[in-house]
Structure 1
Amino acid sequence: MAAPLVAAVDLGGTKIAAALVDGDGALVARAQRPTPARADAETVARAVLDTVDELAAHPRWAEAAALGIGSAGPVDTAAGTVSPVNIASWRGFPLVGRVAGHPAVDVPVTLIGDGVAIAEAEAWRGAAAGYRNALCMVVSTGVGGGLVLDGAVRPGPTGNAGHIGHISVDLDGAPCPCGSRGCVEILASGTAIARYAREHGWRAPDGDTTAAAVAAGAAAGEAVPLAAFDRSARALAAGIAATATLVELEAVVIGGGVAQAGPLLFEPLARHLATYAALPFAQGIQVHRAVLGTDAGLVGAAAAAMRTAAARR
C-alpha cells in the first residue's frame, strides 16, 4: 500500500493518540494525551485538537496527504459524526467537521470506527493478514470490532458493522450505556474488569483498582482478579461464537489494553470459546493477539486515510 505520509488519530475513552504514518504502516511521530471522557463536548473536542496541534509541530507534518480518525463508536461515517458510548457528552458530534475546519488541518479527513480501524490494521500489517474471514477486536475501555469478510474489511453503511461490544450476551444483565442490557462491553471491557473487582471487595495493596492492577493481582493468583478475567473472557467467547455462527469466521484477532494481560485473558477465552462455538462450522477459530498492539487504531486510521489520498490523486 505505497502512499504518502498520512496523519492518524485514535480516539478512545481513555486516551487520544495521533501519529504520522508512512506507506509501510510505520509510525514516524506520535502525540498522546488522556481523554477527558466525563467533560463537556467542547472540552473533549479541544483535547482532540490539541493532540493534532502537538503532532502538527513535527517537521514532517507538511508531508501528510490526508488524515484518518479511528473513533470509539457508534460512528456515522457518512455524516462524519460520532457518539461514543464511553464519552457521554458526544452524541452525534460532528468530529470530521471540527477536525477538517481546524487551522492546522488542510487535508481530507476520513472517519472510521475503532473496531474497523483494528480490522484495517491487522488485515494490512498484522495477525489477520492471510485470512479471508476474520473478526478483529479491541478490548480496552470499551469493546469494539470490525469484520474482514471475503478478503476485505466490511464496515457497513454507517461504519459500525462488527461492533461486537454491543451484542447482548446476558438477557437479564446490567443496563449498558448504549441502552441495551448485558452487552459484551459491560462484562468484558477493562472498565468492567476493574468494576467487578471493586464490587467484590478487591483492592491492590496500594489501593489501585484499574484493570492493569487487577491483571497484576490475577498474575499473582488472587481469586477475585482471576474471576474478573474469567468473566470477561466468557462474555467475549459468547460474542465471538455468535459472530462466527452468523458469518463463519476463520480467525479472531484481539488487541487493546486488556489483551496486554496475555494468558490471563486468552487461556480462559479458549476454554469458553470451545463451549459456546458448538456448531461444527463455528469451531476451530484461530485466536490471535493483535500484532500491532495499542498502535493498531492509528495504523488502521492511517490505512483509511491512505485510500482517501490515493483516490484524490
Structure 2
Amino acid sequence: MTGPVLAVDVGGTKLAAAVVEPDGTLRDRVTVPTPADGQKAAAALDRLAREVAAKGPAGRLVGLGVGSAGPLDLNAGTVSPVNITDWRPFPILDALRPVLPGRPAVLAGDGQCMALGEYWRGGYTTRAMLGMVVSTGVGGGLVLDGRIHPGVTGNAGHIGHIVVDLDGPPCPCGGRGCVEAIASGPR
C-alpha cells in the first residue's frame, strides 16, 4: 500500500486520529477525550475519524489503521477495552469502515502499533523488540523480524493483565493483582 492512511488510536483517556504519510509524517491530527459512555464514545470516534478524513488529501487515503486498547478479537474486528466497559465487545472495524468505504481496514493493539512505530522510526536493528505502554492502562507489543507479532488472538505482548500479585488490588478486567491494577498511570 502506498499513499497516506487514516490512523485512529483508541485509549481509555483519549481518542485520536491523524493522516499518516508513507514516511511516517503525521498530518491533520485531532484528539478528544474518551467519553465514559460507550455509545457516546462510538459517536465521538466516528466524528473524529470523519473530521480527519475530510481534512486529508481528498480521495488519496488508501486505507484505515486502528490501534486500540484491548483485548482484541482480530477475527471479529472487535475490541473490549478494559477502561471502556460499555465496549465489550465493540465492532470497531465495522463502525469505522464507512468513513473510507471500499478501502482496507486493519486493527491492532495500541501497544503493538506503538512498538512497531518505535521499531520503524527509532532505527532499531535488532530482530526482536518488546514495547511497553504505561498510560491509562498498561499494554505492550512484540515486533519480530520487523513485523508485529499478534499471536493467535491478536493480544501477544499485551502485558497489562498478567497477574503479578495474587493478593493484589482488584483490576477492572475482573482479575486481581494484574500489572495494570498496580502500575498504570492512574495507579
**Pairwise TM-score range, normalised by the shorter structure:** over 0.9
1:121 and 2:121 matched: no
Letter in 1 for 2:78: T
How far is 1:114 from its partner?
Answer: 0.8
Q: For residue 5 of structure 1, what is the aligned residue in structure 2?
A: 4
- The equivalences for 1:206-245 within 5 A come to none
How far is 1:168 from its partner?
Answer: 1.1
Q: For residue 172 of structure 1, what is the aligned residue in structure 2?
A: 167
Q: For residue 65 of structure 1, what is the aligned residue in structure 2?
A: 62
Question: Aligned pair in 2 of structure 1 residues 55, 150: CA closer, same or farther (>3 Å)?
Answer: closer
How far is 1:186 from its partner?
Answer: 1.0
Q: Deviations over 1:82-138 (max 9, x none)?
A: 0000001000111111111x3x322221110111111211111126x2121221011
Q: For residue 27 of structure 2, what is the aligned residue in structure 1?
A: 28
Partner SS, residue 42 of structure 1: helix
Q: Is the 8 A contact 1:21 1:28 kept in 2?
A: yes
Q: For residue 132 of structure 2, what is the aligned residue in structure 1?
A: 137
Partners of 1:61 and 1:92 in 2: how far apart? Answer: 32
1:155 and 2:154 matched: no
Partner SS, residue 16 of structure 1: strand
Partners of 1:34 and 1:187 in 2: how far apart? Answer: 23
Computed over aligned residues only, the root mean square deviation of the Cα atoms, in angstroms, reads 1.5
Question: Which of residues 39, 42, 56 is equivalent to 2:53?
Answer: 56
Q: Tell me which protein shows more strand as a share of its residues.
A: 2
1:105 and 2:100 matched: yes
Alignment TM-score, normalising by the size of structure 1: 0.57
Partners of 2:13 and 2:175 in 1: how far apart? Answer: 22
Question: Which of residues 74, 83, 88 is equivalent to 1:77?
Answer: 74
- Give the number of aligned pairs: 186
Q: Is the 8 A contact 1:147 1:162 kept in 2?
A: yes
How far is 1:51 from its partner?
Answer: 0.4
Q: Is the 8 A contact 1:132 1:152 kept in 2?
A: no
Q: Is the 8 A contact 2:28 2:56 kept in 1?
A: no
Question: Aligned pair in 2 of structure 1 residues 150, 4: CA closer, same or farther (>3 Å)?
Answer: closer
Partner SS, residue 159 of structure 1: coil
Question: Aligned pair in 2 of structure 1 residues 111, 182: CA closer, same or farther (>3 Å)?
Answer: same
Q: Tell me which protein shows more helix as a share of its residues.
A: 1
Partners of 1:152 and 1:48 in 2: how far apart? Answer: 27
Letter in 1 for 2:86: S
Q: Is the 8 A contact 2:4 2:61 kept in 1?
A: yes
How far is 1:56 from its partner?
Answer: 2.2
Partner SS, residue 181 of structure 2: helix
Name whichever of 105-114 and 18-27 sits farther off: 105-114
Report 1 or 2 for greater relative contact order, CA contacts < 8 Å, sequence distance ≥ 6: 1
Q: Deviations over 1:49-91 (max 9, x none)?
A: 0101210221514211000000000011111000000001000
Partners of 2:167 and 2:65 in 1: how far apart? Answer: 38
Alignment TM-score, normalising by the size of structure 2: 0.94
Q: For residue 243 of structure 1, what is the aligned residue in structure 2?
A: none
Partners of 1:57 and 1:93 in 2: how far apart? Answer: 24
- The equivalences for 1:207-286 within 5 A come to none
Partner SS, residue 57 of structure 1: helix
